Amino acid sequence: MGFLLLLPILFPLAAALALCLRPLRAQRRRRAFTVAALALELGLTALCAALAGGTLPLLPLAEGLCVTFGIDGLGRIFSLLVAFMWLLSGVFTQEYMADREHLGRYHVFLFLTEGALMCLCLAANYLTLYLGFELMTLCSLPLALHTQTGPARRGGYKYLFYSVFGACLGLLGFYTVHTYGRGTAFAPGGVLDPAKVAGHEGFVAAAAFLAVVGFGAKAGLFPLHAWLPAAHPEAPAGASALLSGVITKGGVLCVIRVVYYQFGAAFLRGTWVQYAWLALALVTVLLGSMLAYQEKLFKKRLAYSTVSQAAYILFGLALLQPTAFAGAILHVVVHSAIKDGLFFTAGAVIEKTGQTDVRALRGVGRAMPFTMGCYTVLSLGLIGIPPLGGFASKWLLAEGSLASGIPVFGWLGPAVLLVSALLTAGYLFPITVSAFLPGADLDGTSAPPLEPGPWITLPLAVLTALTVLTGLFPGPLADAAAAIAAALC
């Protein structure tokens, strides 16, 4: 059943190629093709997740270097997440970008990036992971650069350089594992060979740290976070959603694979690496929240929010503890859904009102009640109000942190998470308030209805529903995550 693994990867590539060879100029045709392809991709991914097993060594590049694919619990979660979000974003884009230029180019790279992400999710060793990471950067760059405005290009350059730099650090990790390990295939608990490592622990630990920082750059880990607020806001909203919601999770997946499946939690537990990582994650949480709080541009605020939220996940992973791990995985899904939704709303609002500044969104709730209603629910979810999704994940993170027994960080973590939650409320809620309750001086009755069409509102609704569902029934996902965690920590 190995070849099933290839389907989710190759299908988007084939779709991209088809679009290259026969660009569909007619809007209707293109919409149909895109939605159909993305839906089919979701189906293939589900099929793969359900039926595929084992590994598929595909391309032997050299002695000891083989591009290998495989699927495990973690891979299932991430690949399904990718395919699902991609479908929603694809639908959203059809209306959002209906009258933009270079749409053909956008769609080609949309598919290519999905293929790259699938390669990342279904990677069975470090080489394939790295391949997916590099391809992901290269293929998503055109999405970030799409509008070709000055800020977009600057953001794109920053994205490129930070990502490549992160990839280089990740490559160091690859070389290290290759030299000091029993091969580079993913194995729960790590593959380091104690005999080879003996005497070089310092170097190996340093390499692990650098790999975390490098791959973490994709998720906006301080100090390599500066590209996120530069690039995410300038991309078209559909792409921003994917960049913030999904591609950052690609970075997270790399971190998980490297830490838990290559170096091994046992090797890193209690070392300076873990402490430094925890410190960086907490700093990022705070930094992101604070910068979001005082940021006035809507999409940029959401980008800073991503920085902060992704750091929650990284914090949970740094604890090297099963509960925290489960919380991190849960937050991956939850944040992905929420952030995508938030970007969809931001995109719709900016598109319809032409306003990018949050202070100018007074009263927009009257004109776009459904959109802003979804926004409110999503915000609540992100803040962590039960029974919405964000609460469950944050609860697990805090529980894991306290149970981990790590000095200082054990209690500092939940404290920072709490502060950040307050700040999150501070930067998300006022928008809701000023949208629905603009104050007496604004006459809301004469606002023309600006509600976007079904192509936008439907994905929004799905994501909002998902947020609620994961809040009410976190069980299945959390249990699945816990099962994975048990083998790893």
Residue 14 or 59 having the CB closest to other proteins: 59
Backbone angles phi and psi of 237, in degrees to 5: -55, -40
Residue 136 or 324 having the CB closest to other proteins: 136
Distance of closest approach, residue 457 Cβ to other proteins, in angstroms? 30
The alpha helices in 354-453, defined as continuous H runs, are 364-367, 369-383, 389-404, 409-436
Distance of closest approach, residue 163 Cβ to other proteins, in angstroms? 9
Distance of closest approach, residue 159 Cβ to other proteins, in angstroms? 11
Q: What angle is formed at CA 243 by the lines to CA 238 and CA 246, rounded to 5 degrees?
A: 100
Residue 128 or 432 having the CB closest to other proteins: 128
Distance of closest approach, residue 240 Cβ to other proteins, in angstroms? 17
Residue 206 or 458 having the CB closest to other proteins: 206
Distance of closest approach, residue 311 Cβ to other proteins, in angstroms? 24
Residue 155 or 365 having the CB closest to other proteins: 155
Cα 228 versus chain centre, distance: 12
Residue 164 or 412 having the CB closest to other proteins: 164
Residue 141 or 191 having the CB closest to other proteins: 141
Distance of closest approach, residue 340 Cβ to other proteins, in angstroms? 25
Residue 135 or 385 having the CB closest to other proteins: 135
Contact 71, 122 (CB under 8 A): yes
Q: Can you tell me the distance from the alpha carbon of 75 to that of 38, in angstroms, rounded to the nearest whole number?
A: 19
Contact 225, 159 (CB under 8 A): no
Distance of closest approach, residue 138 Cβ to other proteins, in angstroms? 7
DSSP 221-272: -TTS-THHHHHTTTS-HHHHHHIIIIIHHHHHHHHHHHIIIII-HHHHTTSH
Distance of closest approach, residue 103 Cβ to other proteins, in angstroms? 15
Containing H/E element for 28? helix 27-51
Cα 195 versus chain centre, distance: 37
* Maximum distance among all Cα pairs of the chain, rounded to whole angstroms: 76
Q: Can you tell me the distance from the alpha carbon of 88 to that of 102, in angstroms, rounded to the nearest whole number?
A: 21
Contact 247, 166 (CB under 8 A): no
If one counts every other C-beta atom within 10 angstroms of the C-beta of residue 124, the result is 26
Cα 400 versus chain centre, distance: 22
Residue 170 or 322 having the CB closest to other proteins: 170
Q: Can you tell me the distance from the alpha carbon of 439 to that of 430, in angstroms, rounded to the nearest whole number?
A: 13
Percent helix, strand, coil in the chain, to 5, is: 75, 5, 20
Taking only Cα atoms into account, the Rg of the chain, rounded to an integer number of angstroms, comes to 21
Residue 170 or 365 having the CB closest to other proteins: 170
Contact 103, 33 (CB under 8 A): no
Distance of closest approach, residue 83 Cβ to other proteins, in angstroms? 23
Distance of closest approach, residue 235 Cβ to other proteins, in angstroms? 12
Residues that bind other proteins (CB under 8 A): 59-63, 65, 67, 127, 130-131, 134-135, 138, 141-142, 145, 147-150, 153, 156-157, 160-161, 164-165, 168-169, 171-172, 175-176, 178-179, 203
